[in-house]
Structure 1
Amino acid sequence: MSISMANSQQSVATAQFTDEKDIPDIEKGNSNSGNEGSDNEKSDERENLRYTAEDWDGDDDPGNPLNWSPWKRHYHIVPIAIISFSATLGSSIYTPAVPVIMKEWGVSSTVAFLPLTFYVLALALGPVLAAPMSETYGRHIVYLVSVPVGAIFTLGTGWSQNIWTLCILRFFSGMAFSPALAIGAGTIADMNPNHRRTAPSAIYILSPFLGPALGPVIGSFVTVRKNWRWTQWTIIFFAIFSFILTLFAQETYKKTILARRRHKLGLPPPPSPFPSTAAKLKFLFAVTLLRPLHMLITEPIVMFLSLYVAFNFSVLFAFFAAFPYVFKTVYGFNTEQSGLVFLAIGVGSALAVPTVLICDQHLYQPHVRASKANGGNGAVPPEYRLYPAMMGSFGLPIGLFWFAWTARSDISWASPVVSAIPFAWGNLSCFIAAANYLIDTYQALNGASALAANGFLRYVLGAVFPLFTLQMYRNLGIDWATSLLGFIATALLPVPWVLFKYGHSIRARSQYDTLKI
């Protein structure tokens, strides 16, 4: 490391001399006969300098986020986790206010749920802008800009005077908060190689799942004890806290860090692979929008895994409408009591994290160690990432059928509440496993597109389900409406199991570059 640091310091010092007349005599040489050799040395030194600014200065470059201390890496997870929590909190914290909105503005339940739908749709569309912005300007600046903009729109939502203003402002609020959901995983990947990425990824992914779980809890108390407008303004406090933490964070994206290093050293940027700005925009459009949609349609792995995860996610959003209806009509719960029911979702989501960590430690890492012991680089088939999803796939139908047939007046309210725990556990276990599987399968750029396809379908279905949930429960009844969801969850249960058994052969026939082991 000392040699690398010395070379770096020498490069910085030499970079101050940009013309031959500025180079000291000791570098020019003391005689004409040595000028040619000195020029060669000068050329070599500048080439070394260029290499230093175009890539890391060795494996132990302190500017590389992979070499940061554990404390520093952990700190950088906190702000993006809180931003992601704030983003998803904004979706669900509104739901306890739906009856108040219906009464205050004289709208139907479907119309009153539209602000939720618009917000969740924005969470799906926001990453289309966030991804190329982070690739161009870096991740840190995207966080610094998006959070205040989201807070401003959220402030406006609390002053809305009609349902359509509320819908529009919530849409832009969700779009502004959504970048953390799109590039947060990239930030974690910047700081952690594959073998140590599971724990920080699981903890980070938990944060946007806690938002929907805690949102109705917070929203119910705020709606009753203040008014529905404070369900919007409460989000701002979380946004301010995350913004303050972000101010003390640093850039983690490699290209941006090296670009700033080149600027500091006075070096020109490397030649762009794009002949024009139009070509670059065309490429970004193809990568950020067309490629995810193409993979969603043509890649069986992306298609079925995204459909599975998206359905599970949409059932969670359907509960925003179903839980208050069920517990008020069957058990006579008030608004605050109905909100507290969602704590079971938070408990189940929290249990998914140790599940993923245990699977990683005892079922995935042994294969990594075996690969290295046999002279490999530690790469293993991505199917070993699916163990949490295979286990969680049973929790989903169990939780749904349990809820369907115990949400009755002659059975204690505790039974349907507890039934939400295995559902939430299975939901998040499947999601984390699916995200890791897609990244390992498609690698780098294609992996990001696969995750984008997964996220797009997940939020689109999540936005739509609450619009017809109440009608479904009123027409079919609590038992058969929830059982219908349970039957679909059972039909989709084999997805991770089939991929575990046949994933290798499916990957071999992929149109995209996949991991070939």
Structure 2
Amino acid sequence: MASSAPPGTSSSSASSHYDLEAGNQQQHAAPPKPASSSQQRLSYPTKPVKTLSLVFDMAGIDDDVLTHPYPGQGTPESPYIIDFLPGFDQRNPLQYEQWRKWTITCLQAMATLAVAFVSTAYSGGIMSVIKSFDVGTTVAICGVSLFVFGFAVGPLLWAPLSEFYGRQIIFFITYMALTVFNAGATGSKNIETLIILRFFAGAFGSSPLTNSGGVIADIFLANERGPAGGIFSIAPFLGPAIGPIAGGFLGESEGWVWIEGLMAIFTGVLWIICSLFVPETYAPVILRRRAAKLSALTGKVYISKMDMNNTSTKWQQIRTALSRPWILLFREPIVFMSSIYIAIVYGTLYLMFAAFPIVFQQGRGWSPGIGGLAFIGVAVGMMVGVAYATIDNKRYVAIAAKSPDGNAPPEARLVPALVGSILLPVGLFWFAWTNGASIHWIVPIIASSFFAAGLVMVFLSLLGYLLDSYTVFAASVLAANAVLRSLFGAAFPLFTMNMYENLGLHWASSVPAFLALACVPFPFLFWKFGARIRMKCKYAAEAALVLERMRREHRVIGPEEAMEEIVRLETIKSQTQGGQQQGHGILDLVKSITHTGGAEKEGQEKKNEEKGQVGSDNDSTMEGSSTGPEGKEKDEKDLH
């Protein structure tokens, strides 16, 4: 994305690691010094490697890799520890040629756009579905809702599985399934078959929504990711907007069968191209494959550097990946409020796909094809929102550059959300009260562009805020957010028809506007009190401490180790308080923060200065040991 990862955007499982530069830069940590450092080569000759070789020979074993002096003895007790070769390694995704990086970026963006396109192109043939199967509008709309519901189910599986098996194989299997289900839907003999196949298409097709952002992070350094993220972030927003346009004209002339056929052709072509030209980019999987192949070739024991401290089993990590998002969603006020806000605006977007045919086709007598053109306003607004977020990212980078540690506070991400939170209700109320047939059609279309721009600003900004606030737990936070917004996106279109029939054109369109208006305070609350809220949120506070430890120790800490630290501190706190109930409700938390006086804060800072501990609370928490009375007392003080 422009300032963060796309809608949804990147995401990884519980086993993913987070380091200061994000992505897989953890591979650049200095390896243990070999016994014979004089033999170590600082660089290797650059030999062009063919794309098909990257795709089908992930390990890339050559003489340089085979003869490199890896640290270790090659035994089960002291295995050889492998990393990418120093200097240059052709299989290191961060060292791909620029043309290859941009080819991969564009292909991943197209794969994501195609999934978003498929989710809404179906709406252009709803009238054809109603006539073919003799069903009501609400039943026909289930084809959209269940496809989006698949977005809530799929990412919980594809993100963690990509950590173990790689992004390449997961894409190959899931995108092939998406194509097969799209093709199978063309032969549906009843509405039940069509809807079920749409659900499975959404569930399998959701893998690029979570994993493609990870691919971008795999191949670009954090300070290089802005332009690539800007291009990529357009895809998940532009796809839903152009889907009804193409679907409307094709549905009007050929019917819903050819819409499904177009989807199958579109995704099938991309499946073939991406499978042949996008190699595996996830560094731990590449090194794991290289270690296995070296072990098989030499008879010695090799292990990836990134697997050294991984003690949990594959299924334990998958189980954690499925449970932790719900813990964060319902126990962290920042995650809960941000996810609710994003879910409402995301649900409103899909409500529009059911409302526009009512407003423009039934209300104004437009044909399905011409009615689809009404979404041009949404498409333009989304591109404006992405452009604004991209430009605003320069402000964020400038703030980070001025910071002593080179990192801007998470609240610096919120400026687009402040603007977008105002544009959302303005655009929705404007649309609601100008969508009658007596007012020129361009007016509600312009209004929809304001809504779309606000949606993108809020979406990108709040996702970036969550990423910066939860760092090592970001994958679980994004998974929780993706599930909740997909549930809203699936549910909102289902009640659209009844809502418009019962409330009328204007008041029905005003319902999402009032919801957006109710959410306006959220980003302003985070902007003013975010730092204090995060310190009162257990996981956000721990993530900040883990990040500080990573900066200090120059090493990578995974979510499992961070979770162990939380459990340890939680145990100390419960022992100290005698099992007293932990945490705050959202309202109590907000009250406690807003009633905290500045004098109290200044007094605390003065006390800390007297003790010589200003700015060292995080260090003491992470450095303090619970071994002995002094260590335990230190942990208890820092925790409180």
The residue that corresponds to 1:166 in the other structure is 194
TM-score scaled by structure 2? 0.71
Following superposition, the deviation at residue 488 of structure 1 comes to: 1.2
Where 1:161 maps in the other structure, the secondary structure is coil
Of 414, 421, 428, the match for 1:400: 428
The residue that corresponds to 1:295 in the other structure is 328
For residues 436 and 189 of structure 1, the distance between their equivalents in structure 2, rounded to whole angstroms, comes to 14
Matched, 1:269 2:303: yes
- Corresponding letter in the other structure for 1:494: P
Matches within 5 A, 1:146-161: 146-161=174-189
The residue that corresponds to 1:37 in the other structure is none
Cα distance change on mapping 1:51 and 1:437 into 2, 3 Å: farther
Where 1:269 maps in the other structure, the secondary structure is strand
For residues 321 and 274 of structure 1, the distance between their equivalents in structure 2, rounded to whole angstroms, comes to 47
Question: Which deviations, in whole Å up to 9, do the C-alpha atoms of 1:239-297 show, x marking residues without a partner?
Answer: 13322331111111010111122234334335776778xx431331222x211111111
- Corresponding letter in the other structure for 1:251: E
For residues 452 and 224 of structure 2, the distance between their equivalents in structure 1, rounded to whole angstroms, comes to 25
The residue that corresponds to 1:449 in the other structure is 476
The residue that corresponds to 1:71 in the other structure is 99
Cα distance change on mapping 1:383 and 1:198 into 2, 3 Å: farther
Where 1:411 maps in the other structure, the secondary structure is coil
Following superposition, the deviation at residue 15 of structure 1 comes to: 7.3
**Unaligned 5+ runs, structure 1:** 19-40
The residue that corresponds to 1:137 in the other structure is 165
The residue that corresponds to 2:402 in the other structure is 370
Matches within 5 A, 1:137-286: 137-246=165-274, 247-266=276-295, 267-269=301-303, 279-286=313-320
Cα distance change on mapping 1:53 and 1:257 into 2, 3 Å: farther
Of 105, 109, 132, the match for 1:104: 132
The residue that corresponds to 1:34 in the other structure is none
- Corresponding letter in the other structure for 1:510: C
Cα distance change on mapping 1:71 and 1:480 into 2, 3 Å: same
Where 2:43 maps in the other structure, the secondary structure is helix
For residues 43 and 313 of structure 1, the distance between their equivalents in structure 2, rounded to whole angstroms, comes to 50
The residue that corresponds to 1:315 in the other structure is 348
Question: Which deviations, in whole Å up to 9, do the C-alpha atoms of 1:99-135 show, x marking residues without a partner?
Answer: 2222221212111111212111111101111012201
Matches within 5 A, 1:339-488: 339-361=372-394, 363-371=395-403, 374=404, 376=405, 378-444=406-472, 446-488=473-515
For residues 147 and 402 of structure 2, the distance between their equivalents in structure 1, rounded to whole angstroms, comes to 46
Q: After the TM superposition, which of the residue ranges 402-411 and 214-223 deviates more from structure 2?
A: 402-411
Cα distance change on mapping 1:281 and 1:328 into 2, 3 Å: same
For residues 70 and 279 of structure 2, the distance between their equivalents in structure 1, rounded to whole angstroms, comes to 34
Q: After the TM superposition, which of the residue ranges 308-317 and 85-94 deviates more from structure 2?
A: 85-94
Please tell me whether the aligned partners of residues 42 and 87 of structure 2 are also in contact (alpha carbons under 8 angstroms): no
Following superposition, the deviation at residue 8 of structure 1 comes to: 12
For residues 130 and 481 of structure 1, the distance between their equivalents in structure 2, rounded to whole angstroms, comes to 37
**Unaligned 5+ runs, structure 2:** 1-27, 29-39, 48-60, 296-300, 549-640
Aligned residues: 483
Following superposition, the deviation at residue 208 of structure 1 comes to: 1.4
For residues 42 and 251 of structure 1, the distance between their equivalents in structure 2, rounded to whole angstroms, comes to 23
The residue that corresponds to 2:153 in the other structure is 125
Of 534, 548, 551, the match for 1:507: 534
Cα distance change on mapping 1:197 and 1:52 into 2, 3 Å: farther
Please tell me whether the aligned partners of residues 82 and 238 of structure 1 are also in contact (alpha carbons under 8 angstroms): no
More helix by share: 1
- Corresponding letter in the other structure for 2:226: T
The residue that corresponds to 2:298 in the other structure is none
TM-score scaled by structure 1? 0.87
Please tell me whether the aligned partners of residues 139 and 183 of structure 1 are also in contact (alpha carbons under 8 angstroms): yes
Following superposition, the deviation at residue 42 of structure 1 comes to: 9.9
Please tell me whether the aligned partners of residues 53 and 258 of structure 1 are also in contact (alpha carbons under 8 angstroms): no
- Corresponding letter in the other structure for 1:511: K
Where 2:303 maps in the other structure, the secondary structure is coil
For residues 403 and 15 of structure 1, the distance between their equivalents in structure 2, rounded to whole angstroms, comes to 62
Cα distance change on mapping 1:319 and 1:16 into 2, 3 Å: closer
For residues 351 and 401 of structure 1, the distance between their equivalents in structure 2, rounded to whole angstroms, comes to 20
For residues 320 and 70 of structure 2, the distance between their equivalents in structure 1, rounded to whole angstroms, comes to 42
For residues 14 and 109 of structure 1, the distance between their equivalents in structure 2, rounded to whole angstroms, comes to 64
The residue that corresponds to 2:618 in the other structure is none
Please tell me whether the aligned partners of residues 126 and 141 of structure 2 are also in contact (alpha carbons under 8 angstroms): yes
For residues 119 and 42 of structure 1, the distance between their equivalents in structure 2, rounded to whole angstroms, comes to 49
For residues 327 and 356 of structure 1, the distance between their equivalents in structure 2, rounded to whole angstroms, comes to 30
CA RMSD of aligned residues (A): 2.7
For residues 230 and 489 of structure 2, the distance between their equivalents in structure 1, rounded to whole angstroms, comes to 21
The residue that corresponds to 2:42 in the other structure is 4
Following superposition, the deviation at residue 16 of structure 1 comes to: 5.5
For residues 42 and 68 of structure 1, the distance between their equivalents in structure 2, rounded to whole angstroms, comes to 23
Question: Which deviations, in whole Å up to 9, do the C-alpha atoms of 1:424-477 show, x marking residues without a partner?
Answer: 111111111122222221113x10111111110111000011111011112111
Cα distance change on mapping 1:15 and 1:422 into 2, 3 Å: closer
Q: After the TM superposition, which of the residue ranges 304-313 and 98-107 deviates more from structure 2?
A: 98-107
For residues 12 and 65 of structure 1, the distance between their equivalents in structure 2, rounded to whole angstroms, comes to 17
Of 511, 520, 527, the match for 1:493: 520
Of 358, 373, 376, the match for 1:325: 358
For residues 321 and 44 of structure 1, the distance between their equivalents in structure 2, rounded to whole angstroms, comes to 62
Cα distance change on mapping 1:436 and 1:367 into 2, 3 Å: same
Q: After the TM superposition, which of the residue ranges 261-270 and 398-407 deviates more from structure 2?
A: 261-270
